[in-house]
Structure 1
Amino acid sequence: MNFDVLLERLAADDSTAEQALVAAGAAAVDTVLQTLCDESSPVPWYRLTTVLQQIGEASFAPLVTALAAAPTAEVARRCGAAFADLDVPDKAIYRSALRHHSPAVRAAAANALQRLKARAEPFLPDLIGLFEDPASDVRQRAVWACEAIGAAAIPALRAVRRAPGRRRRTALTALATIGGWDALDATDQHAVTRLIEVKAAGETPVPVHLCGSWYAIPTSDQSAVLDTFGLTGARPVTMRLGAAAWNNDHHNWSLGEHGSCSRMYVTPALNGWTLIFGTLPAVAHLRGEVAIRDTVRAHCAELSSRFGVAHWYGASCGDGWTAWCLAEDGTVIDHYDIVESEPPDDEDDQSEPDESVIRYYDDFVPRTARPGVLHEQLSIDGFGVSAADRSQWARRRYNIPDHAHATDVATWLSVNPGTLGPDCTVTGRAILALTSCGANQPSTPGALAI
């Protein structure tokens, strides 16, 4: 059988060539694997991994050798993808790879067990053995595999926590990753609470990684903030932990429907402003930009009725989205939201995008200046001044460009959490509190920095 010809046909997307290579079994492995490791080959790498996976056990040892000797990260990635999904009847074959001298092989074997999910429970002792691995990637893979096993892994991990040894730290990470606070036993919960109290004392603010939305209110009355946002179950945390929880909730795609709206991080007063990070349930479960925008506006207006001023900001770490909403005394005075517009169907269409697609402005309603607020009384002689004119006046007054980023507006008008530092005056404590979506529900999974 001419394997080179079959590979040429496979490059041309001939499914019969794939079937022929799989039927050839062990005889085809070396040629297919050599092609997989050749980054210049015209054969799609994923077609080659599929062949090796279907051949099964005969691919195991050659893939181990190729992984250990991979000359580039790309070759290692390809071989690891094939290795993790081999069609073998007994997954115990991966045990030997967990003890291989190459960290790439050990990590790939842990990845293979991770894909088994709950069926990997018999391999828990092997995975826990990797908690002491010198390679951080291998330790992380072992934690992810334990997470995939789920609640069934908790008793074994708790046992590790009560025994001596270097595995204890990674076991704590695995427990938090599986079930958050609820996965910890009483001893660990007490230890974490004490550590939070020690680290919170005199904690210096540090910049927050911004991805999502947050509110800014000029108050140090945390009880009033909790009441207005409908938050319960408040628990003191460090500022570092609160920010880590917010980012975990927005980037952990395994948390499910209420992952981003179960809890909110409320800062201490920072230069007189309390920041509230998170997504309210009233916003999280809406569909459509207009409905979300209108709900945010209404909430900002409501907050400003109680606190005099309320700001809402939004930013993304993955694209150019940014937004803000400013309200005073129950009225939205300015709102900006940039939305990625769809490209024109006709590539020759050079027309400008519809302004309503990319920005939303509300009337600028002048207010009398007061401490901590930059808005001043605006006197306009005569009538007939357009909303656009008033909005542009606002931007000129505060040097806000038409497409300013939310962090710039926060710097000018309140507090920019992305630039927090030791010069910031801190009053009170940071807390995590539950929304209506999180109340009476299991704690949010995630290993958070304290």
Structure 2
Amino acid sequence: MTDTRMSFREQLLHPDPEVRHRVLRPLYHDAGEGHQQCRERLTAVLDLLNDTAGEYPHEYRRGISWVAPDHFSLVVDALARADTERLAESLGITVHNEYGLRPRTAVLLSMLASGWASQAANQLLSGGPEAQDATLDRALLHRRAQALDAAEPLEPIFVDECSWYAVPTSDQAAVLDAFQLTGTVPVGFREGAGLFDAQGALPPDNAVVVTPAFDGWILLVHKGALDSDLEALSARFGAAHSYGHGYQSGCGDWSDWTVAEHGKVLQSCYCDLYGNDSMGPASRDDMLAWINDRRRPATPRLPAADDPAFDNCNGWEFDAESVAHRLAVSLYRVGSHTAVKGTSLLATPIAS
């Protein structure tokens, strides 16, 4: 049995894994204990990582990765102090602050580029002290985002297991208003879109990345954070598209898109690996003609399934990415040929 008089630090250094896990479990499982005791556990973990003490740093890091946002602020505060370089190194974070940001803002932006992107996004959008610091740093963040985009050539990025809206406008303020988004934090395009990269960790559920205008289209990438009225959006902006797909799971692939114009849904298509396919109101042949007739200039015709150029791995003629490329903008096809206006924003729905 564990000596209950042992400190959290002593238990975290104990050779018995069950003793260590008794300290770590309440960090990510609701054990009904008080706020203060949970913070004391987390402080002990952070102190050990900053001291590089103990033989179990991987366990400590895993425990921290599941900490709830209201407690994760303690991690940010610790990293923002001047004497925690070892803690940052233990967590695999290199803190940069070339733009004179407030310490907590600098920490969170540095975490976006590491394996802590989801936690950092949660804190930036939480409305707490870190979010307030980011608001005060907005002008500096905007300058930073512009510098990142200028230094990083625009390249395709494959967002996966997520959805996105496409609206034909370059007016980000109008888009933020239409989708009722708040907490906007300027970020570099690759930095923001990387939250939804197919090779990355799952993004926070309440995060929305609002892109610059690409060839006159603003995209809003999310994972279930938005459920907006497409017809109302299309009445306001003339058109509004929704897209989504998932390929990362390997067993539940899906694709979904809907196009609305001037207050009315025109066409939609859904496919998945289980054969739950639907499209309409056009038939298959009419849908192919409809897409090709409306495709943007300089985009290739969408090939039919029996065309030698057809290469969709699931055999879907009308997958979301291919249709988005032709009717709006696909992040998988942006590049030096793409006209860009503005910077990316990390945002969250007002109601979240």
Normalised by the length of structure 2, the TM-score is 0.63
Distance 1:306 1:153 in 2: 39
Which one has a bigger Cα radius of gyration?
1
Write out aligned runs for 1:315-326 (5 A): 315-316=245-246, 317-318=248-249, 319-326=252-259
How far 1:282 moved relative to its partner?
A: 7.0
Q: Give the total of aligned pairs.
A: 288
The 8 Å contact of residues 245 and 256 in structure 2, kept in 1 or not, is answered as yes
Unaligned runs of 5+ in 1: 1-56, 58-87, 253-258, 284-295, 342-352, 364-386, 439-450
Indicate the RMSD between aligned Cα atoms, in angstroms: 4.4
Partner of 1:197: 143
More helix by share: 1
Unaligned runs of 5+ in 2: 28-32, 94-106, 294-300, 306-315
The 8 Å contact of residues 324 and 330 in structure 2, kept in 1 or not, is answered as yes
Match of residue 399, structure 1, among 290, 295, 302: 302
How far 1:322 moved relative to its partner?
A: 0.8
How far 1:336 moved relative to its partner?
A: 0.6
Partner of 1:408: 322
How far 1:193 moved relative to its partner?
A: 6.9
Identity of aligned residues (%): 23
**SS of 2:332 mapped into structure 1:** helix
Q: 1:142 to 1:411 in 2, by over 3 A?
A: same
Distance 1:271 1:132 in 2: 50
Distance 1:222 1:325 in 2: 22
Partner of 1:138: 57
Partner of 2:169: 219
2:351 counterpart letter in structure 1: C
Partner of 2:261: 328
Distance 1:120 1:235 in 2: 29
Distance 2:209 2:51 in 1: 33
Q: 1:303 to 1:416 in 2, by over 3 A?
A: same
Distance 1:112 1:359 in 2: 50
Q: 1:409 to 1:112 in 2, by over 3 A?
A: farther
Q: 1:211 to 1:93 in 2, by over 3 A?
A: same
CA deviation map 1:132-168 (0-9, x unaligned): 6499x93683363385387467558625522324146
Match of residue 180, structure 1, among 94, 104, 123: 123
Q: 1:333 to 1:127 in 2, by over 3 A?
A: same
Partner of 1:72: none
Match of residue 128, structure 1, among 47, 58, 64: 47
**SS of 2:184 mapped into structure 1:** strand
Partner of 1:65: none
Match of residue 279, structure 2, among 338, 360, 366: 360
Q: 1:244 to 1:183 in 2, by over 3 A?
A: farther
How far 1:329 moved relative to its partner?
A: 3.3
How far 1:427 moved relative to its partner?
A: 0.6
1:251 correspondence with 2:198:
no
Distance 2:211 2:72 in 1: 34
Distance 2:162 2:196 in 1: 9
Distance 2:73 2:137 in 1: 18
The 8 Å contact of residues 313 and 323 in structure 1, kept in 2 or not, is answered as yes
More strand by share: 2
How far 1:416 moved relative to its partner?
A: 1.5
The 8 Å contact of residues 186 and 344 in structure 2, kept in 1 or not, is answered as yes
Partner of 1:116: 26
CA deviation map 1:367-413 (0-9, x unaligned): xxxxxxxxxxxxxxxxxxxx555335336764254613211222222
Distance 1:138 1:323 in 2: 42
Distance 2:86 2:135 in 1: 18
